Each structure stands twice: as C-alpha cells, then as structure tokens.
Amino acid sequence: MHRPSIYDRLHRYRKPEAPAMDASPRFEAGRLALVAALALTPAGVVSTSGVPEAVAPAQDAAFSGPRGEPALVHRIEGLIEASPGVPGDPIVCREWLLLGTLLDELLLVTADIPEEAVVDVVWTTALAAPARDWVVERLKGMLERWRLPVTFQWVEVRPPADCANLHERLAPMPGSRARWVVWLSASSLVNGPGVDQLAREGALRTVMHPQGLAAGEAASAVVFRRLVPDESGGAPGTAWTLHRGQRSACVSRRKGRGLSQALEDCIGEYTASVCDDLPEADTIITDTPGLPGRSGELAGMLSVRYPQMDLAEHGADIEMLCGWPGDAAYGVQIALGAAVAGVDGNALLLQLREDGITGAQWLLGSPALEADKGVADAG
C-alpha cells in the first residue's frame, strides 16, 4: 500500500501563494505633495513657523571685485565643526558643513512622516566623485545614528534641480515603493571660485557695484509625498501641491527690451497648462530681482497681472536672506514660498537668474484637505 511521503503531506498544508503584486506603484509625474520644508540661510531658519528678518551682506576683504574692491557676501555662522578626514577642497568642505548642520534640524521636517513609513532620500549636488562619495557615506551614517522611526530605503545622489526637472530628480528608483521622499540641497559661493564666477558674469555685488548678487550660501530639506494618479486634494497630512514648473526662453536682459512681456507670456502659458481654473497667487517669490534689468520690469508686469496684490507685503525674494547661494537657491525658494503663503495660500515661484531663461512654478495650498480613502497612509 502506498503511503504519502512527508513532502506530500506537507504540501497539503501549504498556504496558497498570494497573487503577484506590482512592486513599484505608479506615481504621478507632474505633481508632488509638499508636507514640510526648512531652509538654513545667513538670516536664520526659514520654515512654516516663520521667516527671519532680511539681513544685509557683509564686506569680505578675502574676496574682491574686478577693480579690487571688497565683495559683499552672505555667510552662515555657527555651522558644525569639520569632522576628521573631511576633504581639503574648501567647496566640498563647506557643502558638507552646510549639509551636516541641516541634518541637525531634520527632526523638524520629518515629524509629519508616519512612523514605520518607507522614505527615499535624494541629495542633489554638483560635486563630483570621489568627494561626492565621501559625503554620501557620512550622510548615510548620520541618518543611521539619528534612529528616526522610519525606514530610509534609498539615499540617492542626483544632479542639481530646477523647477522643470525637480519631479524627475525625485522620481523613485526601480522597485521603490516609498511614498515619501526627503530632498536635501546645500551649496555655497562664499569661496574663490564662486565669487569669480559671479564676477565673470558681471553679476557680483561689491561696495562699488551695488546692483548685483552677493555671494551667499544655504541648505534646505523638503519633505514630499508622492501622489498616485487621480489622487485628489493632495494626500493625508499634506499642506501644498507643487506642480511641475516650466522654463521658457525669453528676451535677454542685456537687450533691454521685452522682459516684462516675456514674463507675462511665460506665466500665462504655464498657468493654462496646470489648470483651467487656477486660483490667484497669494504671494510671489522671486530669486534674483537685484540683477540689472530685473526689478523694474518685474514689478511693472506683476502690478498689471495682479493689481490687487501689494507686492511689498505679499512678495519676497531669497536674495534678502542669503544672496545668491548657487544650486541651493531653488530649495530655499520653495521653503520661502510655503512659509509666506501659509497652508491655505498659493505661491507663484519665479526664477530669473539665467539670462534669456524664465522659470515659473505653482505651489498650491490645500485649505480643506481630506484623506483619500483609497490610499494607504504609510510607506
């Protein structure tokens, strides 16, 4: 008589296999839910708790303009001490000190992430290997030592972002199921190469050249929740929706004509592409109105498009907080937009730094946010 083997008997009690699930949820490409943002600037910390008072740049005899006059700089005081083994390159060292100081404030922006959530960390930087790899290892070590109640799935390094490509920069890695992503950015132009770059462009602000940009530095951390298609009203715990921005070619400021019309066209075309019934802007956040040929035409265009808005009260620019910090400027602009607009307000972000290019982006508040019943809250 045939007796079933131990393998046959065990097979009877095996649980049926669960149907295969898609390992990578499909997230929206053109929207991100902004949950929290924080920026370190020479003026102080920018967050939803408040915006520091503007500060004036200081003369620094270590850096000079084309005629040998002292350059004006915005420098952050009180950074963490340099750790052993930090690369000797002053640019690399300064970016790491900014990033390390920023991480000390990370608890402030991760408080709204649910416990046990799966989180991606993306650091955008222009640093190249091997210095970049050195910073990544220290970054991973600091995140582990913090022992935050979340799971950091990936710590990725990607190139600097702008309003048109940030959503791609923060896209999940293949196989990632993380609904949350923390974007880190830090940079400084308070160094020889940074000051020289501004001087070559004719944009350096000095004691003899008041129109221009003071070399600055900054760091930012922004927490986003990735949205699935058709997810309405943002996501649980979300205060804003950041739409993909647009960069458009415009008339060179050096030609002295048509900048206001180019800005009007860019804003109008971009706004129509975002939504048919977009609410009015509650605040305007600009990056470089101090450059020659910017502030006058910008103010003229905005006063025509938004006649009801008091730009002195409802406008802000990052220059007053940090001068021009380089690649970190964009993160500061987003944090400033959220802080000034508030959770029920809308901010229009305008990027005018590059000659012949205008950037526009909407950050829309969510005053009556309701949880999407069909979307899981964590991870």
Q: If the chain, 379 residues long, is cut into consecutive pieces of 10 residues, what is the mean pLDDT of each piece?
A: 44 39 70 95 94 95 90 95 76 93 87 89 94 90 81 90 96 89 97 94 92 96 91 62 88 58 83 78 91 80 83 89 97 97 91 86 71 39
DSSP 37-80: EEEEETTEEEBTTB-PPP---EEEEEEE-TTSPEEEE----SPP
- Whole-angstrom distance, CA of residue 134 vs CA of residue 110: 24
Based on the fold, state whether residues 213 and 75 are members of the same structural domain: yes
323: domain range? Answer: 240-365
243: Cβ–Cβ under 8 A, 6 or more apart, which residues?
Answer: 30, 31, 274, 361, 362, 363, 364
Based on the fold, state whether residues 140 and 39 are members of the same structural domain: yes
Q: Looking at the domain assignment, is residue 146 inside a domain? A: yes
pLDDT of 186 reads 97
> Tokens 């955008």 label which residue?
124
Report residue 130: phi and psi, to 5°.
Answer: -85, -10
Based on the fold, state whether residues 193 and 77 are members of the same structural domain: yes
Domain final residue, candidates 203, 226, 249: 226
- Whole-angstrom distance, CA of residue 184 vs CA of residue 188: 14
Domain final residue, candidates 201, 226, 251: 226
Q: Looking at the domain assignment, is residue 251 inside a domain? A: yes
Based on the fold, state whether residues 182 and 251 are members of the same structural domain: no
How many domains does one find in the chain?
2
Q: Looking at the domain assignment, is residue 317 inside a domain? A: yes
Based on the fold, state whether residues 290 and 356 are members of the same structural domain: yes
Based on the fold, state whether residues 61 and 133 are members of the same structural domain: yes
Contact between 41 and 332 under an 8 Å Cβ cutoff? The reply is: yes
| CATH number for 198 | 3.40.47.10
Cβ atoms < 10 Å from Cβ of 13? 6
pLDDT of 344 reads 85
Based on the fold, state whether residues 176 and 270 are members of the same structural domain: no
pLDDT of 251 reads 60
Domain final residue, candidates 192, 226, 260: 226
Structure tokens that stand for 161 in this block: 């972002």
Based on the fold, state whether residues 261 and 194 are members of the same structural domain: no
Angle between helices 192-200 and 90-103 (to 10 degrees): 110
> Tokens 């909407």 label which residue?
362
pLDDT of 237 reads 53
pLDDT of 253 reads 52
Based on the fold, state whether residues 210 and 287 are members of the same structural domain: no
Cβ atoms < 10 Å from Cβ of 350? 25
- Whole-angstrom distance, CA of residue 222 vs CA of residue 120: 12
Strand-pair category, 217-226 with 31-41: antiparallel
DSSP SS3 for 271: helix
pLDDT of 258 reads 65
Q: Minimal CA–CA distance to 170: which of 225, 232, 128? A: 225
pLDDT of 101 reads 94
Q: Looking at the domain assignment, is residue 370 inside a domain? A: no
DSSP SS3 for 330: helix
Based on the fold, state whether residues 185 and 40 are members of the same structural domain: yes
Percentage helix, strand, coil for the chain under 3-state DSSP, each rounded to 5: 30, 25, 45
**How far is CA 320 from each of CA 7, 171, 262, 329, 333, rounded to the nearest angstrom?**
74, 32, 25, 12, 12
Q: Looking at the domain assignment, is residue 8 inside a domain? A: no
Based on the fold, state whether residues 216 and 85 are members of the same structural domain: yes
Q: Looking at the domain assignment, is residue 10 inside a domain? A: no
| CA pseudo-torsion sign 71, 76, 79, 83 | negative
Based on the fold, state whether residues 74 and 145 are members of the same structural domain: yes
Q: Which amino acid is at 90?
A: P
User: Residue 118 has what DSSP assignment?
Assistant: E
- The stretches of the chain forming alpha helices (DSSP H) are 6-12, 90-103, 106-110, 131-146, 166-169, 192-200, 259-274, 295-305, 311-314, 319-322, 329-341
Q: Looking at the domain assignment, is residue 7 inside a domain? A: no
| pTM exceeds cut of 0.85 | yes
DSSP 132-193: HHHHHHHHHHHHHHHT-SSEEEEEEEE----TTTHHHHTPPPTT---SEEEEEEEEE--SHH
**How far is CA 127 from each of CA 51, 88, 123, 141, 254, rounded to the nearest angstrom?**
29, 14, 11, 19, 31
Q: Looking at the domain assignment, is residue 11 inside a domain? A: no
pLDDT of 115 reads 86
Q: Which amino acid is at 210?
A: P
pLDDT of 157 reads 95
